[in-house]
């Protein structure tokens, strides 16, 4: 297993392994907050072949939006600062090279500060899975790292 610091450095540098046999199981969720609308946008980037492994009836090339939506909403969670779960709404998917980007949105009054996030993407399939959450809000960017067994983490 690669050290988390190396994973962050590789992903941050734009490294993406070849889809045929990548040695790294990872996902990146980018969360942005729109204060005027009190809305979060989550863009979850997963490797196409990893997604096909957890949803075996899909080869990762077609667009089973309902299956992808259910998977994304079942492996990501967002809770507002008062402890209420945010209802994640499906906004679609797009292909980008060896990856699929799944997009979710939600209303989040009060913003991301002191909200909690959980990213258990692909943990049921890959014991070495590493999930990175990058959130932009209040003029700052925060990066959180999730490995198997982690619980929800609070945005500072």
Within a domain: 75: yes
Q: What tokens appear for 8 in the block?
A: 């962050």
Q: What is the pLDDT of residues 71-121, one digit of tens each?
A: 999 999 999 999 999 999 999 999 889 999 999 999 999 999 999 999 999
Helix (H, G, I), strand (E, B) or coil at 103: strand
Within a domain: 80: yes
Query: For 47-69, what is the mean pLDDT?
Result: 72
Closest CA to 86 of 107, 112, 104: 107
Q: What is the pLDDT of residues 7-24, one digit of tens each?
A: 544 454 444 443 345 677
Q: How many separate domains does the chain show?
A: 1
Within a domain: 15: no
Listed range (10-19, 24-33, 50-59, 69-78) with the worst mean pLDDT: 10-19
Q: If pLDDT is split at 50, 70 and 90, which confidence band does 2 have?
A: very low
Within a domain: 21: no
The residue range of the domain holding 50 is 4-10+26-154
Query: For 20-44, what is the mean pLDDT?
Result: 89
pLDDT value at position 58?
A: 52
d(CA 119, CA 18): 23
Within a domain: 116: yes
Within a domain: 57: yes
- Residue 48 CB partners (closer than 8 Å, separation 6+): 19, 60, 61, 95, 98, 99, 100
Q: Pick 22 or 36 by higher pLDDT.
A: 36
Closest CA to 27 of 89, 69, 75, 67: 75
d(CA 41, CA 23): 29
Q: Is residue 67 within 8 Å of 58, Cβ to Cβ?
A: yes
Query: For 27-47, what is the mean pLDDT?
Result: 96
Q: If pLDDT is split at 50, 70 and 90, which confidence band does 49 have?
A: confident
Q: Find the angle CA(113)-CA(33)-CA(45) to the nearest 5 degrees.
A: 110
pLDDT value at position 17?
A: 44
**Percentage of the chain lying above the pLDDT 70 cut:** 80
Within a domain: 18: no
Within a domain: 48: yes
Q: How far is CA 6 from CA 11, 20, 29, 141, in A?
A: 9, 21, 18, 19
């Amino acid at each position: 297993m690669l050290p988390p610091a190396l994973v962050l450095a590789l992903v941050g540098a734009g490294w993406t392994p070849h889809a045929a046999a990548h040695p790294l199981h990872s996902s990146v969720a980018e969360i942005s907050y729109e204060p005027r609308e009190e809305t979060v946008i989550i863009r979850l980037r997963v490797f196409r072949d990893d997604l096909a492994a957890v949803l075996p009836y899909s080869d990762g090339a077609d667009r089973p939006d309902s299956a992808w939506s259910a998977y994304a909403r079942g492996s990501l969670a967002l809770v507002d600062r008062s402890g209420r779960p945010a209802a994640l709404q499906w906004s679609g998917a797009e292909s980008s090279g060896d990856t699929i980007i799944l997009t979710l949105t939600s209303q989040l009054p009060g913003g991301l500060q002191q909200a909690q996030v959980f990213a258990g993407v692909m943990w049921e399939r890959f014991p070495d899975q590493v999930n990175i959450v990058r959130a932009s809000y209040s003029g700052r960017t925060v990066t959180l790292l999730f490995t198997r067994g982690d619980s929800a983490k609070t945005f500072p």
